[in-house]
Each structure stands twice: as C-alpha cells, then as structure tokens.
Structure 1
C-alpha cells in the first residue's frame, strides 16, 4: 500500500496494492519464514499470516514508529510474528533472519497513512510541517536540508531523484526565498515551486516531482533499496522468493537491474579478458507485473505500481 501518487489525495480503503499478485509471487509455504520489510498498516502481512501454519514465521520491519506501534497492537500476541523498527536496508543484521528466509517483500515509497496525515510533511495538498522523514526520530528533515543545502546540491537532487527538467530554476527560487524566510511548511514550498513553473497540461501539480525528489533524498530511499536487495539475496533460502513493488522508474530500474545482474550472464566483451563462468543466483518470475483494470477502477493509486518477483536458485551463495 505504498503509492507514489500525487500527495493530497483522500484516503482510500482498499486491499494493499497488487495484493493477489504479491501473494501468488511469494508462494507462501505453511511452515516458511517471511519478511515484510515495509509493514505500513499490515495489508500484505495479514495475507502472509493467513497462509502460515503454527510453525510458520513472519518478520516485520518498518522505519515509521507509527507503523511499528500498529504492528505491535495487532500482532504482539501472535507467537509467529517478530517486529523490529528499522530500515529493511539492515535486514541482514537482524538475528531473526540468520536462519534464512523463504520470502521477502518490499512495498516501496511513501505509504497511504503517511501521505494522508498532514503533520508528516509528505503532502503539498495538505499543509503541514515540512518534514518528510519516514523515521521522524532520525536524520535531517526536509526543512533542515533545504535550510543548509547549496543551490547546486538542491538542483542536483531535484534532477537526479525527481527527473525535474526545471531543477535549476526551482533551486534558484528556493535559495532566493529562504534568504527572506526559512521553509517550514509544505504549502510554502509548493507555492514557491509553482510560482516559477508552468502548469502541466496533464493537471499534475508543478511541485510533484520536486517533493518526490526531496523525500527520496531525505530518506536515502534508493541507497536503502540497494542495500536491502543485497541483504534479501543473502538471507533467502534456495527456492525463496523476492517480491518488490515500486512506484516510479528510479526504483523499478534498480530492482530490474538487480534481478538481471544475478539472473543473466553479462554480455561478452572482446576487449576484456574472459572471467570465470557466471553462476546465476536468481530466476526472474513473470517479468514486470501491473495492477489489473478491476484494481485500478477502485484504487487509482495503483496505476504506477510495478511488481517484480525473483526466486533464489539452488547452489547460489
């Protein structure tokens, strides 16, 4: 349930994004051990638990203290469940994963509850403090970063993580505006961005890509994804499944390349000496999957979701 939709949309009650495809992809075994690295509000976790027997195990992680509090309220009495607050980038450091995992799920991006609560600072549709941290007790807030970052750094973040073509113009406007007054509210930042941006014919708010970029930077989302994928591969048992839902091209590109790197031998290069034989450690399952028409009709936030599934092979390190 992690849409990268336009912030400010009202909350929608529905199953988590691509629920059926995720359950099919994970192929939950009755006595298996599974890790949900992005618990959110537990939609996928409940699906896994319904398929686990008394000998099964579900490990839950999330950076967000509100998500962890929700998990503890709902699952603390279930002996099959273990809960840890933290980034899935650190999953391999959790002792509970040491015996091996039969499935790992990452549902990337910002969650619906985070978007819908103005106080979290993710939304420009609902004015709130300019925070954007998934873990509000760790690292710099968006406001703090914008107060100290140089114009070139801001432009680079907007371009790299938001693919914002007007990144330099927006960065100049931010630096000029903060010289008069610091950015403390989401609406203030959104208005500053909109003031130097032409309206898109698609109707998308001019600040959409910039808010995405700043959020990704503040939370180190892409670096965490790369570390989490490595940790998942290291901890998966042979036959175990990795399922990742992404919501924008930057995330999906990382997941796609990770699976390809471990599933396919690199192309030969006649200019380089031959290396030792390639041994695949993953097998891609089903290619890129998207939400079906029925789900899109009831949950427009699923429109940008892409699910990729891979299985760890026998003999992989």
Structure 2
C-alpha cells in the first residue's frame, strides 16, 4: 500500500482553498489526514471531502504539528507569517501567494515546465506556486522555447474577476443586475465599474508604469524558464468574465519555425490542448476552459510583422490550473519523488 500523507489546506474556505480540496479528491491524492485551516471568522464551518464533513480549524502557531504537506492559499501576509512555522514543524509548504515567488532560495514551479526545481524545497521547506496568468502562459511557451528558442514575448491578458476572489464575482453579478434594472451600479471591489467594461489595471501601478501583476509575469516567466535573457512585456486587463483567464501572446523566436511545427510541438506538450481551426470557428474561450485543468491554445499563426514570430491565443481556468491544480500537481511530485 502506498504511503498516506497528512495534508493541511490553509485558507480552506476561500475559492482556491476550496478548489484545492476538490482537486485532492478528484486526483485521488494519498491523503491519510486532512486538516482544514482558516481565520477566526470561519470557525465552526465544515467542508466536505470524499463525503465526510471536516470541521475548519482556526489557524495558529500549533496548526501544523504532524503535517507533511501544507497547501497555502490565504494571502501573502498569512504565508509570510505561517509558511516558515509550517516548514519548521516538518511540513513542505506549497504556497499560492506572491510572498515567496521571487525568493532566490524558493523554487517557483510549474510541473509541466520545471519539475526538477522542486528538489530545491529542502532549503526553506517552501515551494512557490506562480501567478495564475504566468502559469498558463509558460505551459505553452516551454515547448516553443525548446523548438526554436524564445527571445521576446509580448502578452496581453484578459483576466476573470474570480482572480480577485468571491467578492469580485458578487460585485460583477450585482452590477449586471443593477444595469438590467436601470439602476446605477456600485463599484467597491474595483476602482471602476467592471460590468460591461474592461479595466487595464490589475494590482498596483509601479514606478515604471507597469502594474505589479504585469511585472509578476515578466519576472516569474524568466525564473520558471530559467532564462533571464527572455524579454517580456505584459499588459494585464480585468474583464467581466467569472472564470477563465485569456491571453494573446506574441513570440519572437531565435529560429524561424512554421505554424505546423508549432502546432505539432504544442499537440505533444503536457497540460496543453490545441483547439485551432478558425476556418470552422474552432478556438478556445473562457466558458469552455472553466472547470478544466488544461491550457487551451488556438489562433496559432505567423506574425506578419516580423520574420521569426508566432502569435497565439490561450485560455485556462485561473482557479484550477492557475492556482489549485498546479499546487496539487506539485504535491503529487513531492509525494512520488521526494517524501
């Protein structure tokens, strides 16, 4: 019988934490004990795992005793305070926040791209889960980089409101209802109305004019792909979609490759599904990606503005592959190869 692990989910009552629990069940992760942790306001709640109701415990300094794998999705400040506590108690932390991603001693991992980096967990006992928009992009970039080498990436994202959390979904739905009823919608979660609108503003603006979200895509892509020479420019846009981030990606390659070569490489790539027949109106959309774990890619075409360029469109579920599923995949490799 394979070993069963004592697993904690920190931030269990949030959208990603809930999805982590579901992914552990769907993927039949070898859980011997599941400990659900959240803040004081979730005290008394129960969540279901494999038909069993499990009470949510309040996160504190003693929450990780005996835990072997701790999946964190409770925000950067919580991760900063409690990930080292969990690691000191003997758990390996897989953290979904931005807290540890750029720490040079913490591996930043997308299993389809750099699974061997997981071995670096021993330094701090922490593995970082990348940003949702970065994860789905690098899954598609890696096979192209192996095929032709990537020099430069220009990406524009169209990111669902669920990336901000449940409160943003509620705000979008409330604004749509207000507009339908002829009332003025209220904007509290976002600085401007999101219903029937687009906001070219995700996270805070930096001194260089980019937002923090855009710089995450730049720096995380280079770290995951292990190549600081890859130039990245990003524009991140919030759109009135519940689930599923979409991206247009323009790639400048070192070697000229054909669309057929790119399509063939992506068709063989783990975690990627090619949905690309625009002549018959076949291309991926957020509705089709929602609830799925793959990254869907279409609109693959040569960039007519440069000699060695490829344009493509990709979509993935930001709560699943962009967060929870990626974390559980990391935990699976930990369990199989390291623990």
Which protein, 1 or 2, shows the higher relative CO under an 8 Å CA cutoff with sep ≥ 6? 1
TM-score bin, normalised by smaller chain:
0.3 to 0.5
**TM-score normalised by length of structure 1:** 0.33
